[in-house]
Amino acid sequence: MKAAVLTGPEKIEIQDVATPEPSGSELLVKLKCCGICTLEQRLFTGAVRIRYPLIPGHEASGEVVKVGPDVLADIKPGARVALDLVERCGECYYCRTGQSNMCVNRFKRDEKVLGGFGEYIAVNATQAFLIPDALSFAEAAFSEPLSCCIRSLKKVGLHLAEDLLIVGAGPMGQMHLQIALCMGARVFVSDPDRARLAMAGKMGAFLTVDPSNENLVAILKEHTDGRGVDACVVTSIAHAALAGAFESVRKNGRVNIYTSYTDKPPLPVDANTLHRTELTVTGSEGRTEEDFLQAVRLLSFGKVDVKPLISATVGFPRLETGIRAAMTSDTYRVLLEHEGA
């Protein structure tokens, strides 16, 4: 089979590699679409390293072509699936306590990692989630990032009829927005990019704010009787965005740091402020199996519409161009689309 293999920073090659054979409780899946996520972008630049050589890609969907002899689920060849391509060991403390997103064995050398940039992949049946015919493979590839946003909003404890600020209107901010609306929140979105704010408005944001030209804190307090928002999710890596988050929440408010940083910025809040306002600060990493299932169901129900976030699709010949395009602010999600998808 063909696969895009990362051999070093900014070195990705289309190679012929062995097609995997499913064994035991595994499925062989012909991949149809795979998103070029921030992780893949950072792997490409070398900002993040797992190991070389590596087949990247973890936001994937495809069609089952073979079923291992020990698969118990009612999955047959031809089934359309969204794939959770971060494996969990199922044995460590975190997996056994329902926190599999913290699995300590996710990226060990003897564990399979990623693989969505290949033509085929063998996965455990527990990693495959059935999708309806009405959901395109391109839309289904958003199941993984959507599940991470679901995890994020659970961590920040979003409740019905609360005010939520989303800092950053990139693809993750836009997905947070749609899920928060499903949860009954009134959503404010902050971003200096006017085009992205316009998209957030179309997606249903109550109010969008350009913090480079408007007083974000004053605007939020104006709409919340002087309190500030109940909760805030930070999806932007800008340090100023992080600072604005802490200034925007009310007493007893909550802030979730969803994004990951290439550096190590300090929290822009002092211990006394935390003490006196009872502010809760958390982070969120990845997702659990439940989060993934919920993402697939939201997409299948039509509750979340990711079609406007598909900026471009590319095949193997233009994959590097697609990766570089994905790193610009002009795109939301660029997808690797295999022939026949």
Q: What is the CATH number of the domain that holds 194?
A: 3.40.50.720
Shared-domain flag, residues 168 and 133: no
What integer pLDDT is reported at residue 109 of this predicted model? 54
Q: Is residue 172 part of a domain?
A: yes
Q: Count the Cβ atoms, other than its own, within 10 Å of residue 271.
A: 8
Rounded to an integer, what distance in angstroms lies between the CA atom of residue 234 and that of residue 246? Answer: 10
Rounded to an integer, what distance in angstroms lies between the CA atom of residue 61 and that of residue 92? Answer: 27
Q: How many domains does the chain have?
A: 2
At residue 219's C-alpha, the angle toward residues 216 and 224, to 5°, is 120
Shared-domain flag, residues 123 and 65: yes
Q: Is residue 296 part of a domain?
A: no
What integer pLDDT is reported at residue 105 of this predicted model? 87
What integer pLDDT is reported at residue 220 of this predicted model? 98
Q: Which residues contact 252 (CB under 8 A, 6 or more apart)?
A: 277, 278, 279, 280
What integer pLDDT is reported at residue 111 of this predicted model? 57
What integer pLDDT is reported at residue 340 of this predicted model? 67
Shared-domain flag, residues 204 and 132: no
* 330-to-62, 177, 199, 204, 309 alpha-carbon distances in Å: 27, 19, 12, 21, 11
pLDDT tens for the chain, residues 1 to 341:
999 999 999 999 999 999 999 999 999 999 999 999 999 999 999 988 888 999 999 999 999 999 999 999 889 999 999 999 988 888 999 999 999 999 998 766 555 678 999 999 999 999 999 999 999 999 999 999 999 999 999 999 999 999 999 999 999 999 999 999 999 999 999 999 999 999 999 999 999 999 999 999 999 999 999 999 999 999 998 888 899 999 999 999 999 999 988 888 999 999 999 999 999 999 999 999 999 999 999 999 999 999 999 999 999 999 999 999 999 989 999 999 987 66
Instruction: Give Dmax over CA atoms of the chain in angstroms.
Output: 62
CATH of the domain at 10: 3.90.180.10
Q: Is residue 265 part of a domain?
A: yes
What integer pLDDT is reported at residue 110 of this predicted model? 56
Shared-domain flag, residues 272 and 168: yes
Q: Are 265 and 242 in contact (CB under 8 A)?
A: yes
Shared-domain flag, residues 172 and 271: yes
Residue bearing tokens 């993934």: 292
What integer pLDDT is reported at residue 87 of this predicted model? 83
Q: Are 187 and 250 in contact (CB under 8 A)?
A: no
Residue bearing tokens 């990692």: 113
Structural domain that includes position 328 = 2-142+306-337
Shared-domain flag, residues 206 and 138: no
Shared-domain flag, residues 109 and 29: yes
Residue bearing tokens 């913290």: 102
Q: Is residue 290 part of a domain?
A: no
Q: Which two tokens stand for residue 267?
A: 């929290």
Q: Is residue 299 part of a domain?
A: no
Q: Count the Cβ atoms, other than its own, within 10 Å of residue 129.
A: 21
Tell me the backbone φ, ψ of residue 137, rounded to 5 degrees: -65, -35
